[in-house]
Structure 1
Amino acid sequence: MNQVAENWKDYECIDAGNGEKLERWKDVILRRPDPIALWPIDPSDAAWEHPHAHYHRSNKGGGHWEYKERIPESWTIRYRNLRFKVSPTGFKHTGLFPEQAANWDFLMDQIEQAHREIRVLNLFAYTGGATMACAAAGAKEVVHVDAAKGMVQWAKENMVLSHLEDRKIRFIVDDVLKFVEREKRRGRTYHGIIMDPPSYGRGPKGEIWKIEDQLYPLVSACMDILDEQPLFFLINSYTTGFPASVLQNILNTTVKKRHPQGRIEAGEIGLPITGSDMVLPCGIYGRWVHDPNA
């Protein structure tokens, strides 16, 4: 079951191919690497030659932005009633993954239709796209956990931009597994858990994260803080070589085993390419959602 983020107005993937993508972020056109775009581009399409900025990879790792026109250091884009700061970083990213809007829509729909108080935990929460979506949808509390202090600060800026200061959002800089274990000791539970684990990472005190070694133990640990009346459990992944069926199997052997009244959906997540009828694949997702008819 594939999901496509097709409701954007301030963002579009104009074209993709030759290992790159051409995007519009409100009024700014960026050209960035995308190793999954293995098909050719139309050599007669001049749009590729006139972005505002073009990120070039280095053979030695990393890369740099070539600015063809002056652009702001940061600017704001809108999705539904949410607003986010966008800023090109030295490692090609912009602080937002627009394909995640498909997951945001799912989360917002679930919370709005629940008609009860919902507490949400967002792990590896980055700059807070899912955090803001859940808060805007009416979650009673959203706990935002990320090991990178700078990303948590960026998420706080997004909260202000989205006018969500009056919502209960807790921002935590911590190693996610350590935080989950502490929440278990405190006896706290969540109706919805979201995680977007990296392939490899480090916690604030140097803790090593390897998705192939630690994803299942983390999901298993989360079973102890998932409420007895859960609403959803969502895993997103960008790890190369991980098929969606891996996430489906993990959810089957953890969440579904403990909470059989639910269904599991898994697949690719992607962006429509406006210059063609193709979709740019952008990772995978797996989710368990409460379903009394299951």
Structure 2
Amino acid sequence: MLFAAKPFKQRTGRLKNRERRIDGRRAGHPASQTGSQAEKSRTPRTERQARKPAPARTENPAGEGSTARPMTRRTGERPVERVPVILESRGAGDFHLIDSGSGLKLEQYGPYRIVRPEAQALWQPSLPPAVWQKVDAIFTGDTDEDGMGRWKFPREALGETWPLSLLGIDFLGRFTSFRHVGVFPEQIVHWEWLKRQVEAAGRPVKVLNLFGYTGVASLVAAAAGAEVTHVDASKKAIGWARENQALSQLERAPIRWICEDAMKFIQREERRGNRYDIILTDPPKFGRGPNGETWHLFEHLPLMLDVCRNLLSANALGLVLTAYSIRASFYSIHELMRETMRGAGGVVESGELVIREGGLGRDGDGRALSTSLFSRWVPE
């Protein structure tokens, strides 16, 4: 029910801007900080400032305030490639995509039907207008993923949060001012994979979840038996994740909640010699850390993956990258992942995550809505 991997013909990249936030965090994974997604400065320049020549850029490749280290020069063969791959979700637990079209998507989150903007939905809706009008919440306002807006409740005023469940994990949905609700259901396919890897390992497994947002992936891993380190630079995200941990009755699970700039954290882990069996990283297009550190995906992603490669254990089970908010083909991150894992053997598989429309009965076979790019290295 959850996913199918299948080849597809040449497909260009994602145009989706997913700078997730928690009332200031981006989404598509938001805008708060390096690890969540940060609000961009919108202060206009004065006319006098605009006439001044721009200073030369000397940005630290590890992010402002971080201690950069040179890229590792990799040798050996690149891993076998498996492209293109579509990982498809048809929904699970309390979520499914009902319909989409005209730049919108109609979703079911537990008891609520929700309408949100979706630039990828270029077609016309399949269901009649009457269905779209019988909803509980509609996001209005800025249609950009990093734009603020507000929620309208056509039937009755709703509380800020409500309970949800996916893959046996209980957590809170939340109506944020950046259209997001606390979970990115297209990631279900990665969480299913993560759960299987941990349960089948037959040994202790250490998982590192970078830009971990509200912690659903971390809780899935912990419930399967992993020791988890969850990193996000947003205090709100960490607080929300801890609420979800309590809801899932996993207070005793071995999870470290780290509120810190992701680049600083992984470089410190590298120096300490710490290693992980599975690393998940879901970076934003742009982010800001708690001490003003900045993150730019195209500038900092190569170094991040390079450090993550060195954090993988000798018997690593996988390195997973999801990328939103970028105007690029999945081949960009695919080739970067293959270069990063040069000499490690295994397979790099890359492509897109999509969600299939299920209709009102959630068992339909509607159109596939593309949500993000991904690249995943596995040792097989």
Decide: shared fold, TM above 0.5. yes
Offset at residue 182 of structure 1 (A) = 0.8
Evaluate the alpha carbon distance shift between residue 240 and residue 38 of structure 1 in structure 2; reply closer, same or farther with a 3 A threshold: farther
Query: Could you tell me whether the CA contact under 8 Å between 2:114 and 2:135 is conserved in 1?
Result: yes
CA distance in 1, matches of 2:320, 2:254: 21
CA distance in 2, matches of 1:172, 1:37: 36
Query: Could you tell me whether the CA contact under 8 Å between 2:89 and 2:186 is conserved in 1?
Result: yes
Query: Mean alpha-carbon deviation: is it higher for 76-85 or for 51-60?
Result: 51-60
Q: SS at 1:224's partner residue?
A: helix
Which structure: larger Rg? 2
| CA RMSD, Structure 1 to Structure 2 (Å) | 1.6
Query: Could you tell me whether the CA contact under 8 Å between 1:95 and 1:127 is conserved in 2?
Result: yes
2:302 is equivalent to residue 216 of structure 1? yes
Evaluate the alpha carbon distance shift between residue 213 and residue 274 of structure 1 in structure 2; reply closer, same or farther with a 3 A threshold: same
Matching of residues 67-106 of structure 1 within 5 Å? 67-68=153-154, 69-106=156-193
Query: Could you tell me whether the CA contact under 8 Å between 1:28 and 1:71 is conserved in 2?
Result: no
Aligned AA (1:178)? K
For residue 289 of structure 1, what is the aligned residue in structure 2? 378
Q: Which runs of 5+ in 2 are unaligned?
A: 1-84, 360-364
For residue 133 of structure 1, what is the aligned residue in structure 2? 220
For residue 281 of structure 2, what is the aligned residue in structure 1? 195
Greater fraction of residues in strand: 1
Matching of residues 119-268 of structure 1 within 5 Å? 119-139=206-226, 141-255=227-341, 257-260=342-345, 262-268=346-352
% identity of equivalent residues: 36
Evaluate the alpha carbon distance shift between residue 59 and residue 152 of structure 1 in structure 2; reply closer, same or farther with a 3 A threshold: closer
Q: SS at 2:310's partner residue?
A: coil
Query: Which runs of at least 4 in structure 1 moved beyond 4 Å after TM superposition?
Result: none
Aligned AA (2:222)? A
Offset at residue 7 of structure 1 (A) = 4.7
Q: SS at 1:198's partner residue?
A: coil
Q: SS at 2:252's partner residue?
A: coil
CA distance in 1, matches of 2:143, 2:285: 21
Give the TM-score normalised by structure 1.
0.94
CA distance in 1, matches of 2:199, 2:349: 20
More relative contact order in 1 or in 2 (CA 8 Å, sep 6+)? 2
Q: Which runs of 5+ in 1 are unaligned?
A: none
Say how many residue pairs are matched. 288
